[in-house]
Amino acid sequence: MEGIGWKTAQIRLVSSHPEVYEPCDDSFALVDALLADRTNLLLHRPAICLEVGCGSGYVITSLALMLRRQIPSSAAYFLATDINPHALSVTGETLAAHGVEAELLLADIASGLEDRLAGKVDLMVVNPPYVPTPEDEVGAPGIAAAWAGGENGRRVIDRILPAADRLLSSRGWLYMVTLTANDPSQICRLMGRKGYASRIVVQRSTEEENLQIIKFWRDADEESAASSPTTIAGRVIESLASHLPRLSSFRGTH
């Protein structure tokens, strides 16, 4: 087991395209959240992992390397979707350059996959388009779809949440990037009504935005609670969700 020495900086961007989102603070924060929760993830041993909106492939490649290197016997299967076909090409090249594989699908969130994957996904990661924009920019072809989130930046997020609920297995975990403007405490309450607990794994402020990486898991998933001493604190964080801006588990810059 390689352990602590593993660094995300090992991901090389071998390919790019003007219409594909390049890894940025939000991508780094999402991977840092996976690393911060690595001990739990390794115990969790997810069998099916899905990234929605893979862009350059930075996140799915990081995840596949993390699980493969640290659990050599892991039989995890990786899938990634994007609505941008150029993103799938770039992701394919990023994965191949690092010797890992994922099934890549051109899809709106996970459309076309739900019959096959309903209730089977153990780990889902999403860095969605979260920037508040005019509604007509949402889902536009090309790079604008990477950030355009419509009113409060919630148009795509609010479609991802029910999809996640359908796809996640009974022990499934979701890690999702949000912006303070997305009203993350309300997102946690929404998911709470579907039976999910939540906690902020990473919170990060940049010059432009305040980001949170939130982990959701089914409340009855005692494995999550048992394997993570921080989860207890997480439950406290959840109960304080309305005070999000004041909870700064800030981890510094990438």
Ligand X SMILES: C[S@@+](CC[C@H](N)C(=O)[O-])C[C@H]1O[C@@H](n2cnc3c(N)ncnc32)[C@H](O)[C@@H]1O
Give me the residues that bind ligand X (CB under 6 A), please.
Answer: 21, 23, 26-27, 30, 52-56, 58-59, 81-84, 87, 108-109, 127, 129, 145-147, 156
- State the minimum distance, in angstroms, from the CB of residue 123 to ligand X: 14
- State the minimum distance, in angstroms, from the CB of residue 160 to ligand X: 8
Q: In whole angstroms, what separates CA 88 from the centre of its chain? A: 17
Question: Closest CB to ligand X among 46 and 55?
Answer: 55
DSSP character string of the chain: --GGG--GGG-------TTSPPP-HHHHHHHHHHHHTHHHHHHH--SEEEEES-TTSHHHHHHHHHHHHH-TT---EEEEEES-HHHHHHHHHHHHHTT---EEEE-STTTTTHHHHTTTEEEEEE----B---GGGTT-SGGGGGTB--GGG-TTHHHHHHHHHHHEEEEEEEEEEEEGGG-HHHHHHHHHHTTEEEEEEEEEE-SS-EEEEEEEEETT-HHHHHH-HHHHHHHHHHHTGGGGGG---B----
- State the minimum distance, in angstroms, from the CB of residue 52 to ligand X: 5
Question: Closest CB to ligand X among 209 and 219?
Answer: 209
Question: Closest CB to ligand X among 26 and 221?
Answer: 26
- State the minimum distance, in angstroms, from the CB of residue 67 to ligand X: 17
Question: Closest CB to ligand X among 10 and 242?
Answer: 10
Question: Closest CB to ligand X among 4 and 136?
Answer: 136
- State the minimum distance, in angstroms, from the CB of residue 222 to ligand X: 30
Question: Closest CB to ligand X among 44 and 86?
Answer: 86
- State the minimum distance, in angstroms, from the CB of residue 136 to ligand X: 14
